[in-house]
Amino acid sequence: MTRDLLWRHRRVLPDWLALYYEDPVEITHGEGRHVWDAAGKRYLDFFGGILTTMTAHALPEVTKAVSEQAGRIVHSSTLYLNRPMVDLAERVAQLSGIPDARVFFTTSGTEANDTALLLATTYRRSNTVLAMRNSYHGRSFGAVGVTGNRGWSPTSLSPLQTLYVHGGVRTRGPYASLDDDAFIAACVDDLKDLLGHTRPPAALIAEPVQGVGGFTSPPDGLYAAFREVLHQRGILWIADEVQTGWGRTGDHFWGWQAHGRNGPPDIMTFAKGIGNGMSIGGVVARAEIMNCLDAHSISTFGGTQITMAAGLANLTYLLEHDLQGNARRVGGMLIERLRSAAARVEHVREVRGRGLMIGIELTKPGTDEADPQAVAAVLEAAREGGLLIGKGGGHDTSALRIAPPLSLTVAEAEEGAAILERALRSIP
């Protein structure tokens, strides 16, 4: 059955539509932190549909909200008043920390980032954008144009002039040997030098923790230091919270808050986890920025009633059950457990992350050279052991990505860590 489906997939879908595993898996259903494949095998899910199943699979509160909304009306577009959309926008605006915030809903993180770039370049009357090396912001033409990861940049053509800045990766690059304060100072000096050689950019777009890049991050405070330089020149800061938002990092509700001494970003994008599998993205910005467009616009599917109902129920559950706190507690334990296991595996260069956003970078023993074959081998071994994880990284797919639903229990974290330890020890 699965082989027939794979044959049909390859006959009708693009070659570049990536599938995990030598023998790809068809996921048929899920519950809690587990999913089942078409053969009936159960897996502990440590990737959550690429960080999208944020609370739990088949969360009763979300499925009930979706079912009830579907029985009333599924969709009407933004041309009509939409109570669930207004309800969720009010909550997101308040949680964002952005003063006088306006919210625009999209259907994906890619579309959210594209909208943020439209707003910033229109507001600033500039098509020059700063972005981070090793970054990922989506698959649209505009989002690819600010993605600093070669593996996810299928074209060099772009509507934007993009300049890439140091700092997104703490343990690689020319400043890796410096301590945190010196690292930040060097990155700031580099930013100042770059700005001295170009026309004023519209914005810096940055992920507080780089997702596809392998869950890498700078020292806390880097983007606050960048913000001081940018603010002096009127350059906007776009925080891409598509993967880091909603408490996943444990210490903060938004990733930007680790860099927040100078206040919130000018624009923030979000997606993935808020819908717990339903297609929701969005942009939050100060009113003067959000309202800078001088032409009409709508969204046919952004903010549709059924997705907004899911988002409201999911956000309510997350806040009422303090899943941010759970991410901090269980994630902290999981990171330490994985570091202990990795200490005995010579392929592991680094275990990094915060909360339930954890990366394990694999290299060829005794070098800093990426080992994508080892990453692939661990991915397969973990699946064989009943655990689904992800992969990524800027240096030729060098990292395993671990991002379970935020309701993960201590027992499930220990179970997953044990499977992953065996998978790591099986590297040829």
pLDDT band at 53 (very low <50, low <70, confident <90, very high): very high
Q: How far is CA 147 from CA 86, 138, 240, 299, in A?
A: 32, 7, 12, 24
202 and 264, same domain (yes or no): yes
Percent of the chain with pLDDT over 70: 100
Same domain for 270 and 296, yes or no, is yes
Instruction: From 283, 241, 420, select the one nearest 345 (Cα to Cα).
Output: 420
Which domain CATH number covers 304?
3.40.640.10
What does residue 295 show for φ and ψ, rounded to 5 degrees?
A: -135, 160
- Residue 261: pLDDT over 90: no
State whether 165 and 292 are in the same domain. Answer: yes
Q: Tell me the average pLDDT across 277-283.
A: 97
Q: Dump pLDDT digits (tens) for 155-182.
A: 988 999 999 999 999 999 999 999 999 9
On whether both 289 and 397 belong to a single domain, the answer is no
CA distance 398 to 391: 8
What pLDDT score does 262 carry? 83
Same-domain status, 333 and 195:
no
Handedness of CA 360, 112, 199, 180 (dihedral sign): negative
Nearest to residue 415, comparing CAs of 334, 299, 342, 358? 334
Distance of CA 123 to the CA centre of its chain: 26
User: Does one domain contain both 297 and 367?
Assistant: no
Partners of residue 31 on adjacent β-strands: 34
Q: Which domain holds residue 231?
A: 64-320
What percent of the chain clears pLDDT 90, i.e. is strictly above it?
95
Q: Does the pLDDT value for residue 396 go beyond 80?
A: no
Q: Looking at residue 77, what is its pLDDT?
A: 95
The H or E element spanning position 263 is none
Looking at the structure, tell me whether residues 345 and 313 fall in a common domain: no
Q: Which of 295, 320, 345 is the last residue of a domain?
A: 320
* Domain co-membership, 286 together with 344: no
Say if residue 239 is in the same domain as residue 102.
yes
Domain boundary among 270, 300, 320: 320
What does the pLDDT read at residue 395? Answer: 67
Chain centroid, CA 297 distance in Å: 26
pLDDT bracket for residue 120 (50, 70, 90): very high
pLDDT score for 14? 96
Over residues 403-426, the pLDDT tens digits come to 999 999 999 999 999 999 999 999
Alpha carbon 224 to its chain centroid, in Å, reads 20
Whole-number average pLDDT of the chain: 96
Q: What is the mean pLDDT of residues 279-287?
A: 98
Determine the pLDDT at residue 73: 98
Mean pLDDT of 200-225: 97
Once rounded to an integer, what is the mean pLDDT over residues 100-107? 98
Together in a domain, 378 and 350: yes
Number of domains making up the chain: 2
Q: Which residue has the higher pLDDT, 232 or 428?
A: 232
- Other Cβ atoms less than 10 A from the Cβ of 174: the count is 10
Shared domain for 308 and 394, answered yes or no, is no
What is the domain-level CATH number for residue 52?
Answer: 3.90.1150.10
Residue that is last in its domain, among 320, 346, 380:
320
Query: Is the domain of 259 the same as that of 311?
Result: yes
pLDDT tens, 314-334?
999 999 999 999 999 999 999
